[in-house]
Amino acid sequence: MRFLFVFCALVFSLQSSFAALRHRASLGIAVEKERVGVRVTAVVPQGTAEAVGLEKGDIVLEVNGHAIVDLTSLQGIVRSYYEDDPIEISTVRAGKNIRINGRFSPFPEERPRDLLTEYTSFKSRSNELSALIVSPAGSEKSRLPAVLIVAALSSSRLANAGSLYSMSADLAYGLARAGFRVLRFELSGSGDSEGVDFRKQDFESMLKDNLAAIDFLKSRKDVDPKSVYLFGHSTDGIAAGILGSMRDNGGVVLSSTIGRTFYERMSDTLRFQLRMDGKAAEEIHSRIEHHFQFLQRIVMGESIDGILKKDRHFGDLVNANGRIHDDRTIEFWRQLLSYNFPKEYMKIKSPVLIVWGTSDFLTQRTCHEVIAGAVKAGGNNDVSLEIVDNLSHRYTFAKSPEESWTEMRQSRGKMHPEIIQLISGWLKKRQ
């Protein structure tokens, strides 16, 4: 659901607590695109970048001889290596070209001192997926309710990112402290998980990974199989809504997601983002129409090559790897857009909590009201819609959507103080 992101953390995971998976390389930096290469905006402590001497402000041009065009190319290049493989980085520092040599070092694990952490894995299709379960301290022999943090568009990064804010990690820790086992996992082809690069996979494949995660949780002796809950945020909230009727569950949390058609929501989101970028009304209208025409061609079954052959002006919506919105394939989006979202929400028969924040610049209150109406229209009256003041899309505290927009672009913020209590309180009432 992120159309204009300029900031993203490149953080690949390490699991050293089990030997089933070979550990992929990590770099441990946050970057933003430059005219040539990418600029380092943050260096994660104890990661490869810190170990080899990469610094904030450096402009990375090449990694092991591969040109860095943007974040997407950097992620793809790093993913092709494993820990202890040699690394040579060509960078510009203070106007001077330098080369940095070293080896990819292990990424520090998540080890919150007051929680029980278990790095593990489970099978999905033919792939072994890396996973992390956080639980209350001293709960090794207890049978507890559990929460799956659904992953579909994005994939969790199961590593300690230092001072960089991680919504999924902070949410997992908060729910674990409230008495739940919380599972996050890396999608097929992401992090240490086996499989083709997840950005090349389709939406239905992502749903299968989540179904395998649900089955994995339910099979564990330390989890109450009747009290497994699903949490889905943003586009992953759509996936959670679909999954909610595919497996028995204790309840579903749908957060900052889409209830109307994808096009209605996208129109409002693009209008806000373009306005924040200072675009005039005429240009905003033109850009929205541009996106709609492109997505319509995709839904109608045209290929990227076919679209660009007829209309080269759509090239600005296709990245260097031939992928589109949020660096996913045309098939991913074609499958996702084929779903009637309200119809899927109508199928959910377990309790539903819907969460939206007043400072969210990516989704709208109307969508969440539509979700509540759809769930009830399906005959399920156990639905709660919670509107949280000053809650941003990333679950941080922000006084307005405008402040949230600025905060996101600078990767600032801390988790909103009320959100864990709200979600955990609702979950406990459903046990």
Q: At CA 158, angle to CA 156 and CA 159, rounded to 5?
A: 130
Amino acid identity for residue 155 in this structure: S
d(C-alpha 23, C-alpha 16), whole Å:
8
Confidence of residue 320 (pLDDT cuts 50, 70, 90): confident
Domain closes at, from 80, 103, 126: 103
pLDDT of residue 12: 35
Domain closes at, from 47, 78, 103: 103
Neighbouring-strand partners of residue 129 = 122
Domain closes at, from 47, 77, 103: 103
Domain region containing 54: 24-103
Our count of domains for the chain comes to 2
Q: Is the pLDDT of residue 19 over 70?
A: no
pLDDT of residue 26: 85
Amino acid identity for residue 311 in this structure: D
Contacts of 421 (CB under 8 A, 6+ apart): none
pLDDT of residue 65: 96
Confidence of residue 11 (pLDDT cuts 50, 70, 90): very low
In a domain, 48, yes or no: yes
The H helix count followed by the E strand count for the chain is 13, 15
Structure tokens at 143: 């049978």
In a domain, 69, yes or no: yes
Q: Per-residue b/e over 191-202, b at no fewer than 16 CB within 10 Å?
A: bbbbbebbbbbb
Domain shared by 81 and 156, yes or no: no
DSSP letters of 282-322?
HHHHHHHHHHHHHHHHHHTT--HHHHHHH-GGGGGGS-TTS
Confidence of residue 1 (pLDDT cuts 50, 70, 90): very low
CATH at residue 396: 3.40.50.1820
CATH at residue 88: 2.30.42.10
pLDDT of residue 5: 29
d(C-alpha 317, C-alpha 134), whole Å:
38
Domain shared by 231 and 349, yes or no: yes
Q: State the chain's mean pLDDT as an integer.
A: 91
Question: What is the tens place of the pLDDT at every residue in 83-121?
Answer: 999 999 999 999 999 999 999 986 778 889 999 999 999
Question: What is the tens place of the pLDDT at every residue in 350-409?
Answer: 999 999 999 999 999 999 999 999 999 999 999 999 999 999 999 999 999 999 888 776
In a domain, 305, yes or no: no
Residue 55 CB-half CA count within 13 A: 7
CB atoms under 10 Å from CB of 330, counted, come to 20
d(C-alpha 316, C-alpha 325), whole Å:
11
Domain shared by 81 and 159, yes or no: no
Domain shared by 167 and 34, yes or no: no
Q: Long-range contact list for 408-411, CB < 8 A, 24+ apart?
A: 408/5, 408/7, 408/361, 409/6, 409/7, 410/7, 411/7, 411/9, 411/30, 411/41, 411/42, 411/164, 411/165
d(C-alpha 156, C-alpha 191), whole Å:
9
